[in-house]
């Protein structure tokens, strides 16, 4: 992500976070921003569900927030058009999907190319879509994890920035594995967002770069960070 003209690299980036549920990754991002571990501030939170528990994090931390209930719209296109307008009202540098359970239309994704991140509970490209933990266990995978990627119109198909790997225990159930992966996500997402906000990771829709060189494979959290 290039630095806009007239803005220094030290200027905190403006983040808008989209949620649909508990918002645990939102909570981890809020904490990281408040502790200055990410050179950014969360300027807005938007949920497509009025009952999303994660809205409580925004209220508790005095972050502007709003609900756009997708059930009030006749089509995905109509919802996405209003969602894009609501996002732009906050003038964000990055849009962060944190458990936002909506498939976004190509026009919406194109509008935010290079500015929108998602976290997915698998080691992409494995297990795109839903039920990742049960699928990994059914296949006898020795490890599982989470991936942070730029969003493209292809579901869970954008370039992967960073991953966190989690060993699979022989006695794991989908629930126990999900809990372990989620703990890793709370370390992974803030670190990946930090790297994008700092300019270490850049992608404009062409070549994904890390520190100015093509990123040939996703960064690995445990190998590339220290107690994040």
List active site positions: 120
Closest CA to 85 of 16, 23, 7, 19: 16
CA distance 81 to 207: 28
**Greatest Cα-to-Cα distance within the chain, rounded to the nearest angstrom:** 55
CA distance 31 to 29: 5
The reply to whether omega before 27 is within 30° of 0 (cis) is no
Q: Which residues pair with 95 in a beta bridge?
A: 16, 116
* Residue spans of alpha helices (H) in the chain: 24-34, 55-60, 76-89, 106-111, 132-138, 174-197, 221-224
CA 93 to chain centre: 14
| Secondary structure (DSSP) of 41-72 | EEEEEEES-TT-TTHHHHHHTT--EEE--GGG
For residue 151, the 8-state DSSP code is -
């Amino acid at each position: 992500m290039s630095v806009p003209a007239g803005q220094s690299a030290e200027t905190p980036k403006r983040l808008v976070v989209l949620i649909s549920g508990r918002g645990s990754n939102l909570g981890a991002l809020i904490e990281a921003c408040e502790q200055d571990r990410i050179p950014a501030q969360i300027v807005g939170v938007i949920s497509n569900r009025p009952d999303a528990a994660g809205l409580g994090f925004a209220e508790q931390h005095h972050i502007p927030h709003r609900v756009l209930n997708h059930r009030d719209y006749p089509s995905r296109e109509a919802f996405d058009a209003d969602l894009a307008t609501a996002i732009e009202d906050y003038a964000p540098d990055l849009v962060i999907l944190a458990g936002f359970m909506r498939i976004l239309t190509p026009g919406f994704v194109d509008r935010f190319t290079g500015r929108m991140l998602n976290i997915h509970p698998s080691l992409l490209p494995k297990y795109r879509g839903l039920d990742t933990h049960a699928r990994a266990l059914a296949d006898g995978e020795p490890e599982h994890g989470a991936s942070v990627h730029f969003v493209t119109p292809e579901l869970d198909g954008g370039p992967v920035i960073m991953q966190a790997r989690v060993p699979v225990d022989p006695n794991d159930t989908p629930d126990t594995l999900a809990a372990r992966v989620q703990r890793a996500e709370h370390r992974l997402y803030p670190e990946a967002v930090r790297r994008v906000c700092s300019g270490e990771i850049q992608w404009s829709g062409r070549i994904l770069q890390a520190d100015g060189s093509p990123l040939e494979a996703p960064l690995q959290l445990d190998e590339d960070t220290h107690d994040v």
